[in-house]
Homo-oligomer: A and B are copies of this chain.
Amino acid sequence: MDDNKNKECTVQFEPSGLKVKVPSGTTLLEAAHKAGIYLSSICGGDGYCGKCKVIIDEGQFRSRSSSLLTPEETRENVVLACQTEVLSGLMVTVPKSHSLEASQVLMDADADIFSRLTEQARVELFEYDPLVRKLCVEMSPPTVLDHTADHERLYTAIRKQVGAPLMQTGFRVLQRLPKVLREDNYKAAVTIGQRGGTTEIIEVEPGRRCKINYAVSVDLGTTTVVAHLIDLTTAKTIDTEATYNSQMPFGEDYIRRIIYAEQADAFDQLQLCLIQDVNDLIKTMAIRQRINLQDITAVICAGNTAMVHFLLHLDSTRIRREPYVAAAGFVPPIRAAEAGVQINKRGLLYCLPAVSAYIGSDIVAGVLTTRIYEKEKLSIFVDIGTNGEIVLGNKDWLICASSSAGPAFEGSGIRCGMRAGPGAIESLNIINGDEIRFKTIGDSHPIGICGSGLLDTLSELFVNGIIDRTGRLKAGGDARLTEGDDGMQFQLVEPQDGHREIAITQADINNLIRSKAGVFAAIRILMNSTQTKLEDIDAIYIAGGFGNFLNVHRAITIGMLPDVPPAKLQFVGNTSIAGAKTVLLCRRALETADQIAESMTYFDLMSNPDYMDEFIKAKFLPHTELSLFPSAGDLKSQT
């Protein structure tokens, strides 16, 4: 077989028909990426997630066996693309359910909650004054006595409706202006957008199109990209959509992706992944709502600094190198088309401001949404995403840190982990140490576990004594405890009707504990460095794509969050997209976001000698120092 080592093999993927030539020995996952097919692959090609299943129709290959495949699948030549090497020309079918396309049509079940959160934040905090809006402008037509030029006539009419001391008109808009104004006898639908301190006239249409104007807010997550479609006329969210980030094959976290892009000179490719995700999300919602892309006039993004850099093809190479400098924290509004985002040709793309290379605009959005920046008392904001970012502060000061907790609670690096979508176990209880009760999103057959389910699982395993304080599965009489491919595992759901079993492995548990320990250690360091006592904390807000029903107190049970009374804990969902939406709908909120980003102090955990100590102490359940968790005594009484 070594003779074939340098042989070129043609791999053809169906149903797309895309072909690619690769050297013998290449993995099918690499071949697919080379062909431009982005298979879901949460684990980054490590064979854990089982998201990259494909069917080999023809040809020779070598594939590692995996417990993620049922015997039926193996019989039908279903393989994990990342665990399969090409040995000859191949014909491969990409099942629809595992391609990007399918994941896009999954409705994000928790979007509705987030939507309500935003409405609330908006109504309470900020008046309706969107960054981009469409005005119905009626002018009196020119006469011999009033021959003001069309352009100045328009400006005067706009200024009667909104405060816009500084205006700018796009060249193409100006060229079409005289014709458009006369089409509806000087009644016009004028789309204006804020660009710095200037109000730009983005589009002028005949008056009858006054009520048609949409925008999209996007949360650019490292693992998941979420988009909401907003009717700017009513300020209502009319659709939501989410997808895995297509960059995932290139690395689980953004540091790995930056390294990959540098080594493979693949920044173009990584940008394209993200732009396509955003475009696909927008297109899916637009088609579903029968909206013309031309009528979407703004996109607003929040996300970690690296994702925003990838989206805009800004230089991200210094994010991972000392002294960790971003190209831009405050990204000026640009024309969406310039970045490749397909909406109205002259529509604008906004990004919320970031604090630093490691504290992105998603965290600023969280601070904005939870309003901790205006409170007298101290609050903690924790965002559990691919990294765990922490903010501590009040109206006088805000300090923040990034814990690099890892994406375990997003379901990444967890064998049966998945994002909060239909079929995900979102809550779980273990009754009498043996009987498992759970609820899935959409009440469908369980196909995996999302963040809230993982938190429940870890907590229940601990409370029921199935794992010890170090997280080790206790060898014993439990029938659910078996030896799997990856070592010890605890079965939650038996395989049934062709569905694979759902289990949590020792490796999964270790991953989850590392994540929670990272978060708790970061909180401790921030509290210690500011001499904040537990009783000074008035509220802890926990954000992230956990799912709809997070049992927040269980985050205390496992020692992820400090032991505050339950009333002080609040799950706030995806505050990244909620904050983006708030800013979209109110320009004063953008000013507030700018002030938040500017005033936040970044605390570098890695250069702090105590962080590792705190991390090691937090790797116990709930902690080495039980005195920090007085409520641990009541654990058994919780359900």
Contacts and interface: CB of A to CB of B under 8 A. Distances in A.
Interface of A: 142-152, 155, 165-169, 171-172, 174-175, 177-179, 195-198, 312-315, 317-318, 322-335, 338-339, 354, 356-357, 602, 604, 607
A338 B152 contact: no
Nearest to A166: B197
A335 B338 CA distance: 15
The 4 A-B pairs with the shortest beta carbon distances in the complex, nearest first, are A151-B328, A166-B197, A178-B315, A149-B326
Contacts of A151: 326-331
A146 B602 CA distance: 11
Contacts of A325: 142, 147-150, 178
Contacts of A167: 196, 332
Contacts of A147: 323-325, 356-357, 602
Given A165-B197, A168-B332, 18 more contacts: A144-B604, A149-B328, A149-B330, A149-B356, A149-B357, A150-B325, A151-B331, A166-B197, A168-B196, A168-B333, A171-B312, A172-B338, A174-B314, A178-B317, A178-B318, A178-B327, A195-B198, A196-B198
Contact of A329 (B149, B198, B313, B317): B149
A529 B146 CA distance: 19
A331 B174 contact: yes
A143 B323 contact: yes
Given A151-B330, A166-B196, A323 B144 contact: yes
A55 to B, nearest CB: 41
A174 B328 CA distance: 8
A198 B166 contact: yes
Contact of A177 (B196, B317, B328): B328
Nearest to A349: B171
A152 B356 CA distance: 11
B327 A149 contact: yes
A335 B171 CA distance: 9
A211 to B, nearest CB: 27
12 contacts: A144-B323, A144-B607, A145-B323, A149-B325, A151-B331, A168-B195, A171-B338, A175-B327, A177-B315, A178-B315, A178-B317, A198-B198
Contacts of A143: 323
Nearest to A165: B197
Nearest to A145: B323
Nearest to A604: B144
Contacts of A607: 144
A337 to B, nearest CB: 10
Contact of A332 (B146, B169, B333): B169
A510 to B, nearest CB: 32
A229 B487 CA distance: 78
B177 A142 contact: no
Nearest to A338: B171
A268 B339 CA distance: 30
Nearest to A334: B171
Nearest to A598: B152
A334 B175 CA distance: 12
A334 B168 CA distance: 9
Contacts of A333: 168
Contact of A171 (B155, B317, B339): B339
A378 B326 CA distance: 59
Contacts of A328: 149-152, 169, 174, 177
Nearest to A354: B149
Contacts of A149: 325-330, 354, 356-357
A328 B177 CA distance: 9
B330 A152 contact: yes
Nearest to A151: B328
A394 to B, nearest CB: 24
Contacts of A197: 165-166, 197-198
A425 to B, nearest CB: 40
A151 B312 CA distance: 14
A487 B612 CA distance: 105
A436 B503 CA distance: 112
Contacts of A332: 167-169, 174
Contacts of A171: 312, 334-335, 338-339
A179 B325 CA distance: 12
A271 to B, nearest CB: 10
Nearest to A146: B323
Contacts of A356: 147, 149
Nearest to A182: B318
A291 to B, nearest CB: 26
Contact of A327 (B144, B177, B338, B357): B177
Contacts of A331: 151, 174
Contacts of A178: 314-315, 317-318, 325, 327
Contacts of A313: 175
A174 B142 contact: no
B312 A175 contact: yes
A357 B314 CA distance: 45
Nearest to A313: B175
A602 B312 CA distance: 49
Contacts of A602: 147
A152 B329 contact: yes
A334 B318 CA distance: 34
A174 B322 CA distance: 21
Nearest to A318: B178
A213 to B, nearest CB: 22
Contacts of A357: 147, 149
Nearest to A143: B323
